Structure 1
């Protein structure tokens, strides 16, 4: 594999890079997945394990992945090939890049389906469909929506078309400008909703559920899910941060940027959890009601609160944009690979890969209706199987080998030069990236494949 370089550095400032990376990390993982998996796994104890996974595994591997991207200056497979060539490492390390590219496409296939729910709800919110909606009506509305395969397929198709059309144009500068509006806007809306949550009468119950650990509700599978979500929410393991790192100038601090990404991502997830569980408990709903939690609870708030039509429309609009910014980042590594290594035009690569993700996504579309009784991996639906394969196996394995490469293949000097790690932190980071992160990932991964 010949050494290739990306055409140009993208980011005009470190702030722009941080905001773009936050835009990739902050999406449905924070607003949709985190609340429902927290509800399914007992609340506070799960949140504590999740935060430990973020600090001990997510942050160190995020730093490592961005560093590999900047060092390799290309798409994930090519970046690893470039680094292998300069370090003399085994060529098998290139497969770390291929795992990232494939993982991103697989996640996009089901991510686009859930994003389609968000688009549908955005349109419905504009029409005033949620005004005066109560809990029973919200649940019934969602159940009827996902049980209609044509409706879910239509919105899945819309999301994939939007993703491809944006990526075809290569409007990274447009995404930069949009992210700078979307992320502060999303946080403002969440804070407004947080204010509403304090008036529901169930805010203290929500706070206790999220932050008071109940370890009796914690299982080994819960730990696995927490680890998998740490990777999912930070966009780790599927090449996004490696590609974004390849556009990062050498004088920008990877450590500082990574810390801001982690802080913003985690704070938004926790705020979303407080809001949603306040609404859940305030309306007598079940915290562990599964993937539909976001779409069964927020319409209730928007239907009852003053100005709910405006804020509901704005919120679901932010959900759509956050989802699109993430879906674009998922397909970008594979597009870059086809462009740089196979000579595809950006347009051809985008349509080919978008078509693949759309086709594979049909399995997730039908998991909620036509194939609802069909199981694939053990007792899991197609949607749950792809989610499990990526979040619990491919992403952790990718992260583990990323840590091993940065910890063991790179010398201390190479690692510090690329990460910009301050000397006082270098020793601690070395221990974490060489031992703590890979061992913890391996233990949880082993539990997942043997349990």
Structure 2
């Protein structure tokens, strides 16, 4: 059995660079939610206290599930559907576990459909912030952008086209090449923005907002929010990490690599907070205004700022890069499956699935204007409904099932084989968390989100 396993590896694609998996997985993990969501939640949920709880949640929930996804993906060297199926069969269980892989593929395409519309707005804002209209307030500007379905559709189409181009070029020539270019750019832009916040912002207040622990703000919901953020920010439960793990070279250490990805993801989120909040305080804005803050409040700050016409575009370029590095990981698992099953070529798969996501995304484009009053799930518009379906249902369910499978059904020697026998202690700790701690905590988040 083992010799078949190693001969099979030689035929499959794998990342060339040692750091590629880390960059690709961090790229997948760092998205629009990180750059805005994490700092905002940290600021409103007790600052440093939240950051501390978040780090604990990353270790208790995020890391074990991420390792489980990589173990299952790398062992099979297949897309999430077949990786789950193989892992189940090799463990003497039913192949029905592949349903977990399917739910990942579906949530990836659904998330991409609305994510692309918001990322399109970021692309549009690179131009808008370079030469803001003097007589238009930033609130009016956002209204102008979102009320035109034609404009939103144009940028949504551009963003999806970029995804199709990168994915169709292949794992090494497309994804690897892009993440090795995009992620260093993301870091450099991030540092530029932090320096800008030091010069033009109220940096001391930003620091205390993010890091001064206020335990009076901490209650049970803080733990649940931190746990949700830890789970979602590592992009677990949607097949991306499992798929990227299947390209990970056999000699790479899964534990160390996962730890690095979690660390990078958190670092970027904290840097984002240091880049954004000092500016918000210096210009007397409210940190709790949610996602609109990025497009409305920050744009007006860039207009008033020295060199704002350079800093502004740099910031929206940063957001667009973060969005693109996440988006390619949403499309890749489905494309990998189509290619592996020889349904169509990689290029055709990228085109078909990309256009499918583009088509569903039209509903999200219209949610900002023509369909803004139409409810789909409960009283939610189309975009919010798809967001609700993926974030509150499919992803936590997927993550929970991966944890249950890896903890209770996956044969221990298969996991130990991937984690390499030298780390027997790490294996034992991982096994304990993935069996008893992670599934219970994800279930708690799942129930909390449904109830709230």
TM-score (norm 1): 0.89
Superposed counterparts of 1:32-111, under 5 Å: 32-36=36-40, 38=42, 46-111=50-115
- Between stretches 262-271 and 348-357, larger displacement belongs to 348-357
Q: Which of 109, 122, 125 pairs up with 1:121?
A: 125
Could you say if the C-alpha distance between residues 343 and 178 of structure 1 is closer, same or farther in structure 2, counting changes exceeding 3 Å?
closer
Contact (CA 8 Å) 1:36, 1:291: kept in 2 or not? no
Gaps spanning 5+ residues in structure 1: where?
A: none
> Within 1, Cα distance between the matches of 2:128 and 2:425?
53
Report how far residue 187 of structure 1 moved: 1.7
Match of 2:375 in 1: 375
Aligned to 2:207: 207
Change (3 A) 1:197 1:286: same
Q: Pairwise mapping of residues 263-412 of structure 1 onto structure 2 (< 5 A)?
A: 263-341=263-341, 343-412=343-412
* Matched pairs, number: 445
Spell out, residue by residue over 1:14-69, the C-alpha distance to the aligned partner (whole angstroms, 9 max, x if none).
21221222222223232244345556767555544433322211111111111110
The question of 1:449 aligning with 2:450 is answered yes
Query: Shift of the alpha carbon at 1:274?
Result: 2.3
Q: In the alignment, is the contact (CA less than 8 A) between 2:46 and 2:217 conserved in 1?
A: yes
Query: Contact (CA 8 Å) 1:64, 1:419: kept in 2 or not?
Result: no
Q: 1:228 to 1:391 in 2, by over 3 A?
A: farther
Distance 2:317 2:450 in 1: 38
Unaligned runs of 5+ in 2: none
SS at match of 2:296: helix
In structure 2, what is the Cα distance between the partners aligned to 1:191 and 1:430?
A: 38
Report which stretch shifted further, 248-257 or 423-432: 423-432
Question: What do the CA deviations read for 1:66-118 (whole angstroms, capped 9, x no partner)?
Answer: 11100111111111122222221122211111111111111101110111011
Change (3 A) 1:175 1:311: farther
The residue aligned with 2:252 is: 252
Instruction: Go from structure 1 to structure 2 and tell me whether the alpha carbon gap of 1:335 and 1:249 turns closer, same or farther (over 3 Å shift).
Output: same
Contact 1:236 1:399 (C-alpha < 8 Å) held by counterparts: yes
Q: Which deviates further from its counterpart, 402-411 or 191-200?
A: 191-200
Please provide the CA RMSD for this pair: 2.8
Q: Is the 8 A contact 2:13 2:171 kept in 1?
A: no
Rate the CA distance shift 1:171–1:13 in 2: closer, same or farther, 3 A: closer
Q: Secondary structure, in 3 states, of the residue corresponding to 1:377?
A: coil
What is the CA deviation profile of residues 291-332 of structure 1, one whole-angstrom value per residue up to 9, with x for unaligned ones?
Answer: 222222433454344443334333333332332222111111
User: Do 1:223 and 1:444's aligned partners in 2 also have CA atoms closer than 8 Å?
Assistant: no
The aligned counterpart of 1:428 is: 429
Q: Alignment partner of 1:327: what SS?
A: helix
- 1:283 shift after superposition: 1.7
In the TM superposition, what is the alpha-carbon distance from 1:400 to its structure 2 partner?
Answer: 1.2
